A and B are shown apart, each in its own frame.
Chain A
Amino acid sequence: MEENILSTTRDIHGLYPHVHIWGYPIAIYLFIGGLAAGILLFATIYYLKGKADEMPFTVKIAPIFTFGLVVIGLLLLVYDLHHKMYVWQLFLTFRIESPMSWGAWTLVVVSIFSLLWPLSYIDDIEAYLHERGWKRLDDITKFIRNMEHKYVIPRFVIITFRKYRTLAAYLMLFFSIILGIYTGILLSAFNAHPLWNNSILGPLFLVSGVSTGSAFVMWLSNNKKERQLMSTIDMALIAVEIFFIIHMMMGMQAGPEAYKQAAHLFLGGEFTVIFWVVFVGFGLVLPFILEVFEHRGFKIHPALPALLVLVGGLLFRIIMVQAGQISEYPL
Chain B
Amino acid sequence: MRYAMAIEVNKCVGCADCVVACQTENNVPIGYSRDWIVERVSGTYPDIFLHFESQRCNHCEDTPCVRTCPTGASFIDVGGIVKVTHDECIGCGACIESCPYDARYFHPDGYVDKCTFCDHRVKEGMDPACVSVCPTYCMHFGDLDDPDSDISKLLKKRENFTLLPEAGTAPQIFYLK
Q: Which residues of A contact B (CB under 8 A)?
A: 1-10, 12-15, 18, 21-22, 80-87, 89-90, 92-93, 95, 97-101, 103-104, 189-193, 256, 258, 325, 328-329, 331
CA distance A87 to B96 in the complex (A): 17
State whether A86 touches B89 (Cβ < 8 A).
yes
Are A258 and B97 in contact, with the CB atoms below 8 A?
no
27 A-B interface contacts by CB (under 8 A): A5-B41, A9-B14, A9-B19, A9-B37, A10-B38, A12-B31, A15-B32, A21-B96, A22-B93, A22-B97, A81-B90, A82-B93, A83-B90, A83-B111, A84-B91, A86-B88, A86-B89, A86-B91, A89-B71, A95-B72, A97-B68, A98-B70, A100-B70, A191-B98, A328-B100, A329-B166, A331-B100
**Bound CA span A82–B94, Å:** 12
Task: State the CA gap A101–B94 with chains docked (Å).
Answer: 11
B88 & A89 in contact (Cβ 8 Å cutoff)? yes
In the complex, what residues of B have CB within 8 A of residue A86's CB?
Answer: 87-91, 110-111
Contacts of A14 in B (CB 8 A): 29, 31-32, 105, 108
Find out whether the CB atom of A84 lies under 8 angstroms from the CB atom of B106. no
The chain A residue sitting closest to B105, CB to CB, is: A15
In the assembled complex, the Cα of A104 lies from the Cα of B69 at a distance in Å of: 12
Closest to B67 in A: A97
A12 vs B16: C-alpha distance when bound (angstroms): 13
CA distance A33 to B166 in the complex (A): 33
- With contacts A10-B37, A83-B110 taken as known, whether A192 is within 8 angstroms of B71 at the C-beta atoms is no
Q: How far is the CA of A87 from the CA of B39 in the complex (A)?
A: 39
Q: Are B41 and A1 in contact (CB under 8 A)?
A: no
Bound together, the chains give a CA A305 to CA B98 distance in angstroms of 37
Contacts of A84 in B (CB 8 A): 90-91, 110
Q: With A98-B94, A192-B98 as known contacts, state yes or no: A329 contacts B38, CB within 8 Å.
A: no
Q: Which residues of A contact B14 (CB under 8 A)?
A: 9
Report yes or no: A190 in contact with B68, Cβ–Cβ below 8 A: yes
Contacts of A93 on B, CB cut-off 8 Å? 71-72
Contacts of A9 in B (CB 8 A): 14, 16, 19, 36-37
Q: Kindly list chain B residues whose C-beta atoms are within 8 Å of the C-beta of A82.
A: 91-93, 106, 110-112
Q: Is the CB of B90 within 8 A of A98?
A: no
Q: Is B155 an interface residue (CB 8 A)?
A: no
- Residue from B42, B43, B98 with most neighbouring chain A CB atoms (10 Å): B98
Shortest B84–chain A CB gap in Å is: 11
CB of B27 within 8 A of chain A? no
